[in-house]
Amino acid sequence: MTDIRGAIFDLDGTLLDSMGIWGKIDERFLAKRGIPLPEDYVEAVTPMTYPEAASYTVARFSLPESPQEIIREWIALSEQAYRCEIPLKPYGKEYLTALKQRGVRLAVATAQMPELYEPALQSNGVYGLFDAFAHLGEVKRGKGFPDVYLLASQRLGLSPRDCVVFEDIADGIRGAKAGGFHTCGVYDLYSEYEKETILRESERYIHSFRELL
């Protein structure tokens, strides 16, 4: 962790303390249709791209809307929360600043679209610290594959072996490892069910960014 040249961060559950809001958004979305939120739904859609998650949702609940209509509704439900309500994980800003001061280049690799992640990072005062951004809508496969991390590293101008990926889900760790990246698992309450897997598969695991300061 001391000789890396690039650090690539997932957002939801890793850098942003936002996973709770997604459960609420999913619950509100389904409640409008008279459908209770299944226990396994959030876990199922978390590693998916927006189109994948929307197609899955339409098929699972036999919804009349198109995936594109579902995505537009999700974005509308989410924009206000990301702009005004979602904080960084504790010590996240301090750690990003410390990396930047060491000359480490910073990137985002997220499932979220710019309409959501940009206002969240801006409202938390860290948007300007990042050198590159990549999201799943720009690649063909989800976070079980290295695509989004490779795109982020390319935009940083760095090779995977020079970068560490921070992730809170096992699929993200596996995808980053498959791309040749160093990996650091980050604890989040909403991915605690797979903590042991993340511990086993990541090079390092932290409960707080304070551990890295």
| Structure tokens that stand for 186 in this block | 């980050």
Strands, sheet with 163-167, edge to edge from the N-terminal-most edge strand: 132-135, 105-110, 6-9, 163-167, 182-186, 204-206
DSSP per residue, 99-114: HHHTT-EEEEEESS-H
Say whether pLDDT at 144 is over 90: yes
Q: In CATH, what number is assigned to the domain containing residue 182?
A: 3.40.50.1000
Residues 113 and 179 in one domain: yes
- Give the residue-averaged pLDDT of 156-165: 98
Mean pLDDT, the chain, rounded, equals 94
Domain final position from 66, 84, 102: 84
Q: Has this prediction a pTM greater than 0.85?
A: no
Residues 107 and 69 in one domain: no
Residues 154 and 183 in one domain: yes
Confidence category of residue 43, pLDDT binned at 50, 70, 90: confident
| Structure tokens that stand for 168 in this block | 């809170």
Q: What is the pLDDT of residue 75?
A: 85
Domain final position from 68, 84, 100: 84
Condensed to tens digits (0 to 9), the pLDDT of residues 2-34 reads 789 999 999 999 999 987 887 888 998 999 999
Domain final position from 32, 50, 84: 84
- Give the residue-averaged pLDDT of 113-125: 93
Pairing of strands 132-135, 6-9: unpaired
Q: In CATH, what number is assigned to the domain containing residue 43?
A: 1.10.150
